[in-house]
Structure 1
Amino acid sequence: MDIWTGRKEAKLNDPSDDEDGNRALEGLRVDSGVGVVVVEPQAGADESGSLEDLIPSGAPVYESYGRVKPPEEESGQFYSNLEYVKKGPGGTDLPFDEALEFLEDISHDIYYGEKIAENPDTVQALLCLMVQRGEEEEGEGEEPTTSDRDDATASPPPRNQQAASIVAAALQNNPPAARMVGDAWPSLMESTCTGPQGRGFPLRDGFYAPFAPLDPSARRDVPAAQVKARVGALSSLLRSPAVRDDFLASGGMDRLLEALTGAAGGGAWMGVQRKVGHLLLDHFLDEESGATKGLWPVFRASEPDAAKRKLGREADEKWIEAVRVVRERDGGNDGEHWSVAVLRELEGHHAAQLKGLPKEEL
């Protein structure tokens, strides 16, 4: 900057600034003159402004994940199967089941995952199917067969499990898809689903209803694979802040606690517990995994309402006890077991909040 005029100047090619010079250029003729370029500030610009001030008005928002390149030739079958799913099974069970199988395979592709998410009717159809219980799919009053109960041998998977897998794959590692579902979330939660018997029910009620066995003795009626797929879908849905906030406000964490405690006993249910643990780390506890800390656990010593403080403390203690049981039973001496990291975060948060409580509440 010229100290006399206050104007910005850029100095060009002054070899005298380098005492030694560039040995490779010795002997060459150089221009010893000094040139300057005057940089005139834009009209009305504030020299103390930030870089954001230099971004033109109306410029597109920068998105780190970039734009998904479409395939050279789109699958026409994809759009046909989307229509089958949106319409529901009705009397065309075979095409509907084939459509679910097709979407389950292709939803892992980021491009087609985004195409699934951009259509609220498709997302609603998948969510409505996901929240239906297995026996509701088969018909009211029908007893599930042995093969239906055994998730290791059931073929094909139940429709609610397939729908959950499609939702999980379409939104996983797909920020645009998660954003689209988040934008449509309020209207989705206000929509109504139609069950196989033609009876309607609010999607919100079905979404936040218990989906895991509330005690180990009931596990024979709910295959582990269905619960695991549901938790996987929730983990992908929670990538949207809108879904995450609604989930926390609507008691969704209670459903995950039920999945964790009802999955006791090892075997296939250990996969359910692991899925729940990774969800907690990825979304609420481990910042290195992309979690937003401070949203959950909910116990806060700074909460002015004593009743809410008590409820928050009790809720956190239930989680701590449940994870301790898993660690003692399955973790052993494995320091890499997911329960170790989860318990460390939960206990650390709980201890910090206890220090701030009034003495009469300790």
Structure 2
Amino acid sequence: MRSLPPSLFAVLGLMLVGATASTAQPPAPSPAADDEVELICHTDNPAECYPKIFQATDEFQIVRPDQDLPKGLHVRLNVQTGQKEAKINVPDEEIAAVAGLPVDSSIVIVDQDTEDAPVKPPKNAPAYDPIGKIKKPLASNPEQAKAETADFHKSLAILKKGLDIDAALEMLEDISHDIYYGLKITEDYDTVKSLFCLANTGSIFAPEPHSASSMFDTHRATLSRAKLAALTISSAVQNNPAALSEIEKHWQTLQTTKCPGSSEPLSTAAFRLISPLGLNQEESTNDPNVAKARISAISGLLKNKSLRRHFLSAGGMDLLLDILTLNPTTQDDDEWEPAQRKAGLLILDNFLDADMGAAVGEWPSAKSPKQATDKDCASRQKVSGDCWDWHAKQLADRHRKSDKNHWSVELWDKLKEQRKMAAKRSSSSSGKEEL
């Protein structure tokens, strides 16, 4: 560490004089010899005792940490050791160490060191990558690692060929938590397409066949695969920017893909969480566990700015509102609560709560639909985006009395806050345009 010049101690002393002497109080007089002086003794040796109140003289003396300093003294501080020294203050005293230096209001103006010029990278150096290279995980057992790698690549091949999908999905879901394998999964377009189609096929909304039907097991397998595929996507991109970037690269092609059993392209199907027909069990199936897994996948994808933009343009917030406003009549509310909570946290973490890293300002924004009146929203049979606030308030009011910390309460509070911020931004923007 570079040592500080002696003049800096005097400078700091001068600064402290400005702070203490400005009180216009004279230094406390030293007590008379016959006055009783309170001492501080840390040992049994009387010679090591010292006064509790610092006794100033005309020369600088060390101030001990537990001593009290009278007002009006000239104090200086060693910034490297933290040691204080003090003496009787003499107004207008010339300080030789700072003589000739520019001083303003008892503050010495010190020229700033010029910053070192940035080091230029060598010629032909690779471009800087903030993510860095993701290395294959080290294994204590080389043979086990070799077998794991072989199983991984085998599972990828099986998934793409549509063979033993269930075993392949279980293996991929388990290994996707590792950032290396998460990246490898997302690097391959065919694998990503297979996962997205399994997770978002329209078949998950098909009416559930009777348990005696030969199609019952097939339908249950479809739901199980959708859940595993969604969890694999979620795990692969979680805390894995490189994997998320790979999904972004594939999205331009993915979004136009229509998967088997779906009438919608993935640009919409990937974000539709319940059947367009609602909860009518005779016409459709809505599985809360599959919905929750798919919400986890969406939440992970929304960490990417480009994918967030696609989500918003596809009406993703209205599709989330479908989940939040579910009011099951033939199913237990508790069955859907975890999925609804997951949807609420997705909105907070990605759009409303800056403390959680949300991209505040993207939704709601000045371009968001103008909210309808409460009376209008209350009379509607169908959920729509211009009643977002009304539905959020209804949800919060339903839970506030029993649990003021319920996620829906925070969701409504943060939404109101962001609506106000959006209005301010819009007003500010309009004012600039007028100027």
TM-score w.r.t. the length of structure 1 is 0.69
Q: 1:279 aligns with which of 327, 346, 349?
A: 346
Contact 1:283 1:292 in 2 (8 A): yes
Q: 2:269 aligns with which of 179, 195, 206?
A: 206
Q: 2:138 aligns with which of 71, 74, 96?
A: 71
1:187 maps to what in 2?
Answer: 253
DSSP-derived class of the 1:313 partner: coil
Contact 1:131 1:207 in 2 (8 A): yes
Contact 1:78 1:103 in 2 (8 A): yes
Q: Percent identity?
A: 32
The 3 A distance-change label for structure 1 pair 54 and 141 is: same
2:195 maps to what in 1?
Answer: 126
2:314 maps to what in 1?
Answer: 250
The 3 A distance-change label for structure 1 pair 78 and 297 is: same
Contact 1:323 1:339 in 2 (8 A): yes
Q: 1:167 aligns with which of 192, 211, 233?
A: 233
Q: Deviations over 1:127-168 (max 9, x none)?
A: 0111113457xxx88725399xx9xxx789521121111111
Q: What residue identity is the alignment partner of 2:251?
A: W
Structure with higher RCO (Cα < 8 A, 6+ apart): 1
CA drift of 1:275 comes to 0.5
Contact 1:107 1:113 in 2 (8 A): yes
DSSP-derived class of the 1:56 partner: coil
DSSP-derived class of the 1:159 partner: helix
Contact 2:288 2:339 in 1 (8 A): yes
Q: 2:157 aligns with which of 65, 83, 106?
A: 83
Q: 2:363 aligns with which of 296, 301, 311?
A: 296
Computed over aligned residues only, the root mean square deviation of the Cα atoms, in angstroms, reads: 4.1
The 3 A distance-change label for structure 1 pair 192 and 50 is: farther
Q: 2:121 aligns with which of 46, 50, 56?
A: 56
CA distance in 1 between counterparts of 2:178 and 2:345 reads 23
The 3 A distance-change label for structure 1 pair 341 and 272 is: same
CA drift of 1:258 comes to 1.0
The 3 A distance-change label for structure 1 pair 18 and 247 is: closer
1:100 maps to what in 2?
Answer: 169
- For the pair 1:260 / 2:324, whether they are aligned, the reply is yes
The 3 A distance-change label for structure 1 pair 14 and 245 is: closer
- Structure 2, unaligned stretches of length 5 or more? 10-59, 61-77, 81-112, 140-144, 373-383, 431-435
Larger Rg: 2
CA distance in 1 between counterparts of 2:301 and 2:158 reads 23
Of 275-284 and 183-192, deviating more is 183-192
1:32 maps to what in 2?
Answer: none
CA drift of 1:109 comes to 2.1
2:22 maps to what in 1?
Answer: none
Contact 1:134 1:158 in 2 (8 A): no
Contact 2:371 2:388 in 1 (8 A): no
DSSP-derived class of the 2:334 partner: coil
2:303 maps to what in 1?
Answer: 239
CA drift of 1:232 comes to 1.0
- Structure 1, unaligned stretches of length 5 or more? 1-11, 23-46, 304-308
DSSP-derived class of the 2:259 partner: strand
Q: What residue identity is the alignment partner of 2:371?
A: R
The 3 A distance-change label for structure 1 pair 212 and 54 is: farther
Q: What residue identity is the alignment partner of 2:156?
A: L
The 3 A distance-change label for structure 1 pair 338 and 66 is: farther
CA distance in 2 between counterparts of 1:218 and 1:188 reads 30
Q: Deviations over 1:162-214 (max 9, x none)?
A: 1111111111121211111112211221334344xxx9974335335553576
Q: Deviations over 1:256-306 (max 9, x none)?
A: 1112112656212011110011101111011111111110013x2xx6xxx
Contact 1:117 1:181 in 2 (8 A): yes
CA drift of 1:351 comes to 4.5
1:225 maps to what in 2?
Answer: 289
CA distance in 1 between counterparts of 2:419 and 2:210 reads 43
- For the pair 1:114 / 2:186, whether they are aligned, the reply is no
The 3 A distance-change label for structure 1 pair 185 and 55 is: farther
The 3 A distance-change label for structure 1 pair 263 and 114 is: farther
More helix by share: 1
2:371 maps to what in 1?
Answer: 313
2:24 maps to what in 1?
Answer: none
The 3 A distance-change label for structure 1 pair 56 and 285 is: same
Q: What residue identity is the alignment partner of 2:287?
A: P
CA drift of 1:348 comes to 2.5
CA distance in 1 between counterparts of 2:192 and 2:254 reads 8
DSSP-derived class of the 2:416 partner: helix
CA distance in 2 between counterparts of 1:270 and 1:221 reads 17
CA drift of 1:84 comes to 1.1
2:29 maps to what in 1?
Answer: none
Pairs aligned (count): 300
CA distance in 2 between counterparts of 1:253 and 1:97 reads 32
1:3 maps to what in 2?
Answer: none
DSSP-derived class of the 1:267 partner: helix
